[in-house]
Amino acid sequence: MNACFMGLGYIGLPTAIIAAKNGIKITGVDINQKVVDMTNQGKIHIVEPGLQALCEEVVKSGMLKASTTPVISDAYFIVVPTPFKGNHEPDISYVQAATEAVIPFLKEGDLYVIESTSPVGTTDKMQELIFAKRPELKGKIFIAYCPERVLPGNVIYELVHNDRVIGGINPESTEKAMGFYGQFVQGKLHKTNAKTAEMCKLTENSSRDVQIAFANELSLICDKAGINVWELIELANKHPRVKILWPGCGVGGHCIAVDPYFLTADFPVESQLIAKAREINNYKSFWCAEKIQNEMLKFELKNGRKPVVAMMGLAFKPNIDDLRESPAKHIVAKVMESCNNADILVVEPNVPEHKVYKLTPYQEAFDKADIVVYLVAHDPFKTLPHDTNKVLLDFCGIFK
């Protein structure tokens, strides 16, 4: 079997590699020539443990080849980004462009699957687009939606072992897509229709966002009430039916902080809780920045000099090098903007350098700082002492 993967990013590339490893001949398509060149040299352009070796193997064996254009295949997978526009409206133009690129190659019996997180109804829209241009294929090709669910950092394991939800535009399409994923997924494959599968992905990430918002709201209440929120949540979670997540300095990444807007944009009246959760999680970052600024002011009033502040972590979550859409990064920027004379040391042990900030090793920053702000719970920070005279602001539960 031959398949084309449209998009060689954080999901498309690993999925293409795993499929190739399982005997499917893959053409990986990306608009970025650099990504195509690197892939063809067996090199990966993303950070993902274990993926480099697998990529080398499937490129060498000829099972994966990258290109900037699709080739005639038996199946086509759309794995491109779906960002949102300025007004939080979803932008499906990449899905549309990738679909338009494969339309000329489609033939009877082919499978077309969207994996990109998409607003409800996108698969139907792409179906209309395909049949508007190729009416002779009506009823002769298979169209489905199958969202990915992998966690960056654990992608190789999760791609194979996670359950998948597969929704076709008709039962035949669902079956055809099940047949494809069954070749490398060991988790269960759950059948549904395209709309439910689209909604399922948005539901999963919105559910997590709402739960984190609850934890973040608790952290604001506890701060005012003088209660340790980490101890509180640990105790509440001893109840057999309570499972509260953890507060942090906001919610980042390209999924949890984005996907709920796909629901609030299309269902503004109905999605009150989902919209409020987004607001709370965004507000938490502003609150953290203000808290830091207040501590800096207090220090200055008490000591007659500006404090040295260590900002610990820039990534969007612990133990990764991904800084995109990171609340920690926004907080650092906001604090730096407001106090241009203060000595702010920025720490991120998972990246060698940053194009805006001069990075300081974490131990050195800790030693020099009067105020230590924990923004991301990276493991190395947990080795630093907490019985110290320094002011410690722990927004991510480093000592929990």
Active site includes 176? Answer: no
Closest by CA position to 309, among listed 258, 375, 257: 375
Among 167, 248, 260, 349, binds ligand SAJ (CB under 6 A): 248
Part in contact with ligand SAJ (CB under 6 A); list of ranges 47-55, 147-155, 228-236, 345-353 = 147-155
**Nearer residue to ligand SAJ within complex by CB, 177 or 255:** 255
Of 170 and 192, which has the nearer Cβ to ligand SAJ?
192
If one asks whether residue 16 binds ligand SAJ (CB under 6 A), the answer comes out as no
Helix (H), strand (E) counts: the chain = 13, 12
Which CB atom, from 204 or from 234, has the smaller least distance to ligand SAJ? 204
Asked if 167 and 198 touch (Cβ cutoff 8 Å), the reply is yes
Token pair recorded at residue 257: 């902080």
Residue of 201, 284, 317, 329 marked active site? 201
Q: Report how far residue 215's alpha carbon sits from residue 246's, in angstroms, rounded to the nearest whole number.
A: 6
* Residue 205 near ligand SAJ by CB under 6 A: yes
Q: Which stretch binds ligand SAJ (CB under 6 A): 83-91, 107-115, 247-255, 365-373?
A: 247-255
Tokens matching residue 142? 């298979």
Give the binding range for ligand SAJ (CB under 6 A) out of 29-37, 143-151, 269-277, 355-363: 143-151
Binding to ligand SAJ by residue 260, rule CB under 6 A? no
Distance CA 87, CA 121 (A): 20
Catalytic member of 4, 146, 249, 255: 255
b/e 130-167 (16+ beta carbons within 10 angstroms → b): bbeeeeebeeebbbbbbbbbbebbebbebbeebebbbb
Residue 377 tokens, joined: 């719970």
Region of 237 on the Ramachandran plot (φ > 0 left; ψ -120 to 50 alpha; else beta): alpha
The nearer residue to ligand SAJ, 5 or 299, going by C-beta atoms, is 5
Single out the residue of 12, 28, 119, 253 in contact with ligand SAJ (rule: CB under 6 A): 253
From the list 71, 72, 97, 151, which residue makes contact with ligand SAJ (rule: CB under 6 A)?
151
User: Would you put residue 24 in left (φ > 0), alpha (ψ -120 to 50) or beta?
Assistant: beta
CA–CA dist 141, 135 (Å, integer): 11
396: annotated active-site residue: no
Which of 56, 74, 124, 204 forms a contact with ligand SAJ (CB under 6 A)? 204
Between residues 149 and 306, which has the closer beta carbon with respect to ligand SAJ?
A: 149
What residues line the site for ligand SAJ (CB under 6 A)?
Answer: 148-152, 204-205, 208, 212, 245-246, 248, 251-253, 255-256, 316-317
Catalytic residue numbers?
A: 201, 255
